[in-house]
Amino acid sequence: MRDAYQVAKVRAAEAALMALVPDGALMQRAAAGLASVCTTVLRADPGGVYGSRVVVLAGTGDNGGDALYAAALLARRGASVTVIQAGPRIHAGGAGALRTAGGRFAGVAAVRGPDDTRPDISGRYDAGHDVRHAIGHADLIIDGMLGIGGKGGLREPYATLAQLAVSSAATTVAVDLPSGIDADTGAVDGPAVRAAVTVTFGVVKPGLLIDPGARHAGVVELVDIGLQPHLLEPPDVSAPQRDDIRLLVPRPGPESDKYRRGVLGLLAGSNRFTGAALLASGAAVHGGAGMVRLVTAPAAAAAARSLWPEVVITELDADSRDRSGEKNDYPGAEGQPWSPASVGRVQAWVAGPGMGVTQDAAQRLAAVLGTSLPVLVDADGLTLLAQRPDLLPRPAPTLLTPHAGELGRLLGADPADVEERRLEYARKAATRTGACVLLKGSTTVIAPPDGMDPVLVSTAGTPWLATAGTGDVLSGLAGALLAQGLLPPQAALAAAYLHGLAGRLAAAGTSGRDSESAAPIGASDVLRALPMAFRAL
């Protein structure tokens, strides 16, 4: 796992470490690591380090000091370094080292108005021609304006400098965290630096793993400064690596049969939405379930029989009564409302994809949630839950898989705000519903129900997954893993990773890497790529 820690825990670990090492040692370690990464970035350019134009955006804190000391190392190797002082002061030691190495300094000034250049505190700033020219013609920009303690939107002149850096053709390397990103949550309020690379020190911070902050961070490089032994509390966020997922995914043994491998009940599809049943069923089959029992409407049932002959189907007639063709000797038959017991042995349920939001659909969802089995609720099931919040919490394991709009309906929140504060809202939903919540999106956030375990994050996906039906594939895959005995957080994590990897494989071929040669994909392509994703583990 790639573990991330919130600021309070990082600060405590830093204090413990600084008490054991000479003054300034941590900054020197950080600066050396930062300079090494910057050297690698510059070497990727044909010009290399010597003669390259480096601009440092320096704030008042330790991040500015890290940037200045690193820039001094680059200047000694022949880089032309310009420091833009964003705040009222800069780190004295770092500035002295850079002056000695030949760096030059510029600044921004507050102005009263367009015709008045006297210093003022009006909040308007003029970056000046020299500053704009330096940023616009830089090869490398080092963002050392704000660190992990920054909260809220960027104030001036930081906001203007961040926008100038975004507009520049230079490669931007952020120090510890892009300025304007909340280190604990990844929230972005207003302008923020967009880095190609973020060099973070000691441990990863949650805001580097969770969008929208993750989009601003680029590639995250971790520099070890000796902090890990002093982190005495568990991480706040964990992101899996391939080997973590490989260990989670169940594997059949010699004694396995279809029941030991897990039977998934799937309440999905309708006469209108047949595709949801097909996609979820196929994902469950390829997700390792020993048997899939699909409960659906006649049109979806007919389509599923032709495409997935291994799926056992219970067909519902127009008024939701069972029409399976088998002897109706189970509880709930003979004109009674549908019962989960009618389908036979099941070890977990998925309810919602394409099932509709009718009164009958609500009754079936309530019946499934009334069992003692693990249940995954998705799509239409989440819409029904927003109308019937009394159905949760429940004693048995529950997994909800909303996108931002669905989570907004569940919580009565603006979906745009959910997108901007993904960690906060996923945790809130998990606490309110008593369920594990998998918030879908550009980074998948998985909040356990107890609020104690680390939030899990999967960054394995690709923007090509933003297409209709891929959520149905995810729910069928996660349901299959639930039926095989994984707890909701682990099933959600493994499914999100494999689903994302399958999307990458489908879009970009066997390399699994996004590239200019990647092609648009549909949900069926993701489904067909699932076996390749499993093999890639």
- What's the token pair of residue 537? 């583990």
Q: Which two tokens stand for residue 401?
A: 């898989």
In the chain, the domains with their CATH numbers are 2-235 (3.40.50.10260), 242-249+258-536 (3.40.1190.20)
The closest of 328, 344, 348 to 336, measured between CA atoms, is 328
The rounded distance, in Å, linking the Cα atoms of 471 and 13 is 40
**pLDDT score of 44:** 81
Partners of 107 in beta bridges: 85
Q: Output the tens digit of pLDDT for each of the chain's 537 residues.
A: 899 999 999 999 999 999 999 999 999 999 999 999 999 999 887 778 999 999 999 999 999 999 999 999 999 999 999 999 988 889 999 999 999 999 999 877 554 444 444 343 334 455 666 889 999 999 999 999 998 988 878 999 999 999 999 999 999 999 999 999 999 999 999 999 999 999 999 999 999 999 999 999 999 999 999 999 999 899 999 999 999 999 999 998 888 878 888 999 999 999 999 999 999 999 999 999 999 999 999 999 999 999 999 999 999 975 444 443 333 333 334 456 899 999 999 999 999 999 999 999 999 999 999 999 999 999 999 999 999 999 999 999 999 999 999 999 999 999 999 999 999 999 999 999 999 999 999 899 999 998 778 999 998 888 999 999 999 999 999 999 999 999 999 999 999 999 999 999 999 875 545 556 788 999 999 999 999 999 999
DSSP three-state, residue 314: strand
pLDDT at 353: 97
Q: CB 310: neighbour CB atoms within 10 A?
A: 9
Q: What's the Cα-to-Cα distance from 140 to each of 46, 48, 51, 76, rounded to whole Å?
A: 13, 11, 12, 16
What predicted TM-score, i.e. pTM, was given to this entire model?
0.89
Closest CA relative to residue 420, chosen from 432, 429, 408, 433: 408
Output the pLDDT for position 159.
94
Phi, psi of 452 (to 5 degrees): -100, -40
3-state secondary structure 472-514: HHHHHHHHHHHHCCCCHHHHHHHHHHHHHHHHHHHHHHHHCCC
**DSSP 3-state of 286:** helix
Contacting residues for 448 by C-beta, under 8 A, at least 6 apart: 430, 436, 455, 456, 488, 489
DSSP 454: P
Tokens at 346, concatenated: 């099941």
The three-class DSSP label of residue 94 is helix
Strand order from edge to edge, sheet including 444-447: 2-4, 237-239, 455-458, 444-447, 436-439, 398-400, 375-377, 348-351, 263-267, 291-296, 312-315
Structural contact between residues 79 and 48, judged by C-beta atoms closer than 8 angstroms: no
When computed from its CA atoms, the radius of gyration of the chain, rounded to whole angstroms, is 27
DSSP helix/strand/coil, 345: coil
Quick one: DSSP state of residue 224? P
The count of C-alpha atoms lying within 13 angstroms of the C-alpha of 73, restricted to the half-sphere facing its C-beta, is 17
Closest CA to 81 of 128, 29, 35: 35
Three-class SS of 47-63? CCCCCCEEEEEECCCHH
Phi/psi of residue 489, nearest 5 degrees: -60, -40
> Quick one: which of 467, 461, 457 has its CA closest to 508?
461
**H or E element, residue 428:** helix 422-433
Place of tokens 């950080």: 30
Q: Which residues make Cβ contacts (< 8 Å) with residue 467, sequence separation at least 6? A: 520, 521, 522, 523
Please, how many CA atoms are within 13 Å of residue 488, restricted to the half-sphere of its CB? 26
* Strand-pair category, 219-223 with 197-201: parallel
- In angstroms, rounded to a whole number, what is the distance separating the alpha carbons of residues 183 and 510? 34
Decide: residue 153, CB within 10 A, 0-12 exposed, 13-18 middle, 19+ buried.
middle
Strand 436-439 with 444-447, pairing: antiparallel
Q: Write the DSSP assignment of 138-194 as a string of letters.
A: -SEEEEES--TT--SSPPTTHHHHHHHHHHSSSEEEEESS-TTB-TTT--B-S----
**The three-state (H, E, C) secondary structure of 320-339, written as one string:** CCECCCCCCCCCCCCCCCCC
Omega before residue 234 within 30° of 0, cis: no
Cα atoms in the Cβ-side hemisphere of radius 13 Å centred on 439: 32
**Helix (H/G/I), strand (E/B), else coil: 419:** helix
Q: Which residue has the tokens 């918030």?
A: 439
pLDDT number for residue 110? 52
User: What is the pLDDT, as a whole number, of residue 47?
Assistant: 73
**Distance set, CA 108 to CA 85, 115, 158, 167 (Å):** 7, 16, 10, 18
